[in-house]
A and B are shown apart, each in its own frame.
Chain A
Amino acid sequence: MKRQLFTGNLVRLVAANPESDPETLATWSRNAGFLRLMDTDPAQPWSLARVREDMKRFESKGDMFAFHVRTLAEDKLIGFVSLSGPAWTHSTVWFGIGIGDDAYWGKGYGTDAVRLAVQYAFEELNMHRVTLNVFDYNVRAVRSYEKVGFVLEGRQREAMQRDGKRIDILYMGILREEWVATTRAEGED
């Protein structure tokens, strides 16, 4: 049992703090660019009440494994990750992430959080595969997912519309054997 489940190189996965976190999440939602990377729902700033409700919904309870993401250096809340909709008989689960503080985009924080969540899916939930959706224009996220080992499995053509353009929704997946091969290769470095 050598591995730190919750601690990566740059971030750690923590429980949500219902007292102090909602304010920060509500601030992120003023950035429509962030909302439009995360969700197909029409972008809308989140009220504090809505954030508190969502945090309740995302409390871990059997079919939902959600964490807030904090930096190791400053213990700063920068985002969240979730493993949701597990199909236990098939050992599959959906992955989702949002790095709300855009000062932390493109610097490896997101990738570190993805890696921790995927590790949790395979080593704690004992999943066989993890699936995610990402929008075609979210190039940074696709690159991050590829770094962790996700494979592009196809694209739902024109599955959303933004700014008058039809956009593909991409499906990516990672299998347990692929994850094991990646971590073994890293261990040999």
Chain B
Amino acid sequence: MNANLFDGSLVRLSAPDPDRDADIESGWTHDPHYLRHTSLEPARPQSAAQVKEKYAALAKDTGGTQFHFSVRTIEDGRLVGFVGIERIAWAHGTANIQLAIGSPDDCGKGYGSDALQLALRYSFDELNLHRVTAFGFEYNPRAIHFFERAGFVAEVRQRQAIAREGRRWELVVLGLLKRDWRSRQVIEARA
């Protein structure tokens, strides 16, 4: 039994703390890059109150089809992002995964990779899912490579599905199967 379900080497998965987190997350949404890398909705800053409403809605959703975690550093407990396992279809063992690191200052430090590994372990070994799906925007190749490094395969390219910066881009659907994730764990354990 791996008791360290929530602790990685750099970050941990934790419950949201809306009173403390809302200001920080509201700050992220004032950066258009953050919004355009996390959503296809028209970019729009969110107030701390709006962020709190989002968390209240998440807490109210007790249907068991989504699991949301705040990502905090192990070193000082600072909020750096979030990860969500969403739209779970229990009969089929599938879900979508969404991950964001909020501040550009926290990118490239390994927080995202660490959080993704935790979320994948949670998906496959706690929720017992068969596959997880992630979405990537063509104009953000870094995010697509991020998922591919973790074993995801680009399975679908929805042509011209996104209109931004005066041109059209692909919406990429990536998938990771449990057995492919598992075999990577074995290889890493041996290494």
Contact = CB atoms under 8 A, between A and B. Distances in A.
Nearest to A166: B130
A92 B158 CA distance: 11
B177 A175 contact: no
A175 B40 contact: no
The number of chain A residues touching the other chain, given as a range, is 20 to 34
A89 B154 CA distance: 25
Interface string B4-47: 00000000000000000000000000000000000011100000
Interface string A155-178: 111111100001000010101000
Contacts of A151: 159
Given A91-B163, A161-B92, A156 B133 contact: yes
Contacts of B157: 153-154
A156 B156 contact: yes
B175 A156 contact: yes
A171 to B, nearest CB: 4
Contacts, number: 72
B42 A160 contact: no
Chain A interface helix/strand/loop/mixed: strand
A87 B159 CA distance: 15
Interface in A62-98: 87, 89-92
Given A40-B91, A40-B92, A171-B173, A157 B155 contact: yes
B175 A159 contact: yes
Given A157-B175, A158-B131, A158-B177, A42 B155 contact: no
Nearest to B162: A90
Contacts of A92: 161
B159 A129 contact: yes
B155 A156 contact: yes
Interface residues of B, number: 26
B104 interface: no
A159 to B, nearest CB: 6
B50 interface: no
B163 A154 contact: no
A87 B173 contact: no
B156 A40 contact: no
Contact of A154 (B91, B131, B155, B177): B155
B156 A155 contact: yes
Nearest to B90: A42
Contacts of A158: 130-131, 177
B49 interface: no
Nearest to B131: A158
Given A158-B131, A159-B133, A161-B92, A129 B160 contact: yes
Interface of A: 40-42, 87, 89-92, 128-129, 131, 151, 153-161, 166, 171, 173, 175
9 closest residue pairs by CB, A with B:
A154-B156, A171-B156, A160-B92, A90-B163, A154-B155, A42-B91, A161-B92, A89-B42, A153-B156
Given A42-B91, A166-B130, 14 more contacts: A40-B89, A89-B41, A90-B162, A129-B160, A129-B161, A131-B161, A153-B156, A156-B155, A156-B173, A157-B131, A157-B175, A158-B130, A171-B156, A173-B161
26 contacts: A40-B89, A40-B92, A41-B91, A128-B163, A129-B158, A129-B161, A131-B161, A153-B159, A154-B173, A156-B131, A156-B133, A156-B155, A156-B173, A157-B131, A157-B153, A157-B175, A158-B130, A159-B92, A159-B131, A160-B92, A161-B93, A161-B130, A166-B130, A171-B156, A171-B173, A173-B161
